[in-house]
Chain A
């Protein structure tokens, strides 16, 4: 199955979504964006609960234009589940399918067999979403849409369901469009991510693309990349060089080289980003990939779930953030105010903006 959006757009007052052009095949496609970016409007257009002003939508070449929601075979899991409150969990799932064997299979797959006789009011948040998912899958949709199904759940439940969703998506042979504002959910589940900002697609790519090569400062910051900083470009007798704060950028093997600066002539500064996972605090050998060694002072660190987030200041420059495992952090035996060296592989520098003279 392939879901094709061609110039799809919708206007609500001052807000305009699109035009959006996308082709989504049998993959998990996450639409990631902040509140008000148009995520829910996009889902409404796909599900048929709202009509676009312009553009078209097709599933495997079959146009959806003018088709009501019931004729589209596009299933939608709502943010709060939207379970029918007057029906039991079993009746909710059976509402979408007259095939009792398939219903049984789905209830087993989503581990809701024990709650089937309960009304939605007597289900936990996680159970409600599992029932909602079973109900949508029971309708055997050609395309599966999910509207932030984990957003109202507590973190432990959300994390468990995220894992279950990941396994479930692997078994599905349809395009899955998953809308969320949570970067962790998107990167955990998606084959591809589209970043939505003010109704427009800011970037489409794999999670690695989006995280390590953001198309703009907005994408970098929205996806949780705190290492957005400026490198000043100068010239001396050895050629061009960069400075972060008071520190000249040098790399093993290729001292002073700025290979990421593709058109250096008139550029006086660049804004770059480095994914926190690419920054390390260890000596590197000459056999390793070229890297910058930048003196820093360790200011503080945060323990978040299974990872550590270390904040280290470059003299006269930005605070760099590095993420690492607990084991790696404990091996470093940091103390606050400690002077150390941050290692940034040259190929992990991603240029966002150029300032020309």
Chain B
């Protein structure tokens, strides 16, 4: 006698699990989109347009764009080599270094700002040496970039590490047995194959930088970035005055993300 499936098993098999995943995912998607839509619809276009010519908002927008771009560049230049090393390394050292990289992600941003102040703030060795050379590491664009890089660069390292790990090691070996050195192999094999993952990390880091508030306000209240400007508007003029600026920040962030996404062509697609 062969065992037969129970009625319950058959009912489970018939149940459309894909619809359930879609339903649950859809609820979360609505939770992302509805507040944004609500904010956009609540703001009269004239108020938003009026803010786009406001000198303080224009200045904050340009500071945010420049600092986020600089932070992502710094994170990429220093983060990719570390990610590549982590992807190739094995054992305890890799685990330890990965934990260090993740640390800024788990710290509250305001604590990150405080930590940075103890390193580069006024009265510290680094802060004083830089100040003596006429470079201010706080209350400056450099300060903003330092704060954003600290909190955003782990996204580049962690995501790029995963992207490098996904590249078959034998492809790199194959390249090298064909007479290509490590650098050429990296440039022509590893990087193109890992690029979509790396770009995802860059995009996340940019998004994190442009929205960074806690560490930035501790390290560099001036020049104001968009989040700081929104906070200033909120605390001095009230919530209603802060909303149009928030809409502009959302617009800048979305435009930047769309631009970055266009760079991420899948190397395997033709």
Contact = CB atoms under 8 A, between A and B. Distances in A.
Contacts of B168: 82
B175 interface: yes
Contacts of B175: 84, 95
Contact of A68 (B176, B178, B188): B176
Interface string A108-149: 000000000001010000000000000110110000000000
B173 A86 contact: no
Interface stretch (A70-78, A160-168, A178-186, A280-288): A70-78
Given A82-B168, A85-B193, A75 B178 contact: yes
Given A82-B168, A84-B171, A95-B188, A121 B177 contact: no
B267 A86 contact: yes
B189 interface: yes
A21 B168 CA distance: 32
Contact of B268 (A48, A70, A78, A85): A85
A82 B179 contact: no
A47 B179 CA distance: 11
B181 interface: yes
Nearest to A74: B177
Contacts of B177: 47-49, 69-70, 72, 74-76, 136, 139
Contact of A139 (B171, B173, B179, B192): B179
B179 A136 contact: no
B187 interface: no
A70 B176 contact: yes
Given A49-B173, A86-B268, A68 B181 contact: yes
Contacts of B181: 68, 70
Contacts of A84: 171, 174-175, 189, 193
Contacts of B178: 70, 75, 95-96, 135-136, 138-139
A135 B180 CA distance: 13
B173 A47 contact: yes
A70 B174 contact: no
B87 to A, nearest CB: 16
B133 interface: no
In this complex, which of B175, B177, B192 has the most chain A Cβ atoms within 10 angstroms of its Cβ? B177
Nearest to B270: A119
B53 interface: no
B170 interface: yes
Given A68-B176, A70-B179, A121 B170 contact: no
A182 to B, nearest CB: 21
Contact of B170 (A68, A82, A135): A82
A139 B174 CA distance: 11
Nearest to B176: A69
Contact of B174 (A68, A82, A119, A121): A82
Nearest to B188: A95
Nearest to B169: A49
A75 to B, nearest CB: 6
A82 B193 CA distance: 13
A24 B175 CA distance: 25
Nearest to A72: B177
Interface in B162-205: 168, 170-171, 173-182, 188-189, 192-193
Contacts of A49: 173, 176-177
Contacts of B179: 70, 73, 96, 139
B176 A82 contact: no
Interface string B223-243: 000000000000000000000
Nearest to B266: A86
Contacts of A96: 178-179
Nearest to B168: A82
Nearest to B189: A84
Contacts of B193: 84-86
A78 B175 CA distance: 11
Given A68-B181, A70-B180, A139-B179, A78 B174 contact: yes
Contacts of B182: 68
Interface string A53-84: 00000000000000011101111101010111
Contacts of B174: 76, 78, 82-84
Contacts of A70: 176-181
A80 B173 CA distance: 13
Interface string A27-44: 000000000000000000
Given A49-B176, A95-B178, A139-B178, 17 more contacts: A49-B173, A49-B177, A69-B173, A70-B176, A70-B177, A78-B174, A82-B171, A82-B173, A83-B174, A84-B171, A84-B174, A84-B193, A85-B171, A85-B267, A86-B267, A136-B178, A138-B178
Interface of A: 47-49, 68-70, 72-76, 78, 80, 82-86, 95-96, 119, 121, 135-136, 138-139
Interface of B: 168, 170-171, 173-182, 188-189, 192-193, 267-268, 270
11 contacts: A49-B177, A68-B182, A69-B173, A69-B176, A75-B178, A76-B177, A82-B168, A82-B171, A83-B174, A85-B268, A139-B178
Nearest 10 pairs of A and B residues by beta carbon:
A86-B267, A69-B176, A82-B174, A96-B178, A82-B170, A76-B177, A139-B178, A49-B173, A70-B176, A69-B177
